[in-house]
Amino acid sequence: MSERSLPHPNPRVALLQQEIARLEAQLEGRDADAIVQRHIKLLHTYNEIKDGAQALIGKYAVFTHTTVTAVHQELGLSLVE
């Protein structure tokens, strides 16, 4: 029998080992590091787009002599991240 098939005497550790096994099964052999790197890249892209949109909203607010908050409300955008 392998070490992983033996239940750990500490119930908390045993539960964590079960959770690890479940999560590894969900990965289905995919590289977790590659998934994380892709997620980081997507977040970076999202943040660049969001920053650009916020800059445009700021310019629009100046052009229309209003506040960024008012523009957010006008467009139905959340004021909270």
State whether 62 and 45 are in the same domain: yes
Tokens of 81: 């991240």
State whether 47 and 65 are in the same domain: yes
pLDDT at position 1 over 50: no
State whether 40 and 79 are in the same domain: yes
Instruction: Domain of residue 76: give its range.
Output: 31-81
State whether 59 and 80 are in the same domain: yes
Q: Which amino acid is at 17?
A: Q
The predicted pLDDT at position 79 comes to 82
In tens, the pLDDT along 10-22 reads 889 999 999 999 9
State whether 35 and 72 are in the same domain: yes
Contact 72, 79 (CB under 8 A): yes
State whether 62 and 47 are in the same domain: yes
State whether 43 and 53 are in the same domain: yes
pLDDT at position 2 over 70: no
State whether 47 and 23 are in the same domain: no
What's the whole-model pTM score? 0.61
The predicted pLDDT at position 30 comes to 87
In tens, the pLDDT along 12-69 reads 999 999 999 999 898 888 888 999 999 999 999 999 999 999 999 999 999 999 999 9
Distance from C-alpha of 79 to C-alpha of 77, rounded to nearest angstrom: 6
State whether 62 and 80 are in the same domain: yes
Distance from C-alpha of 52 to C-alpha of 37, rounded to nearest angstrom: 23
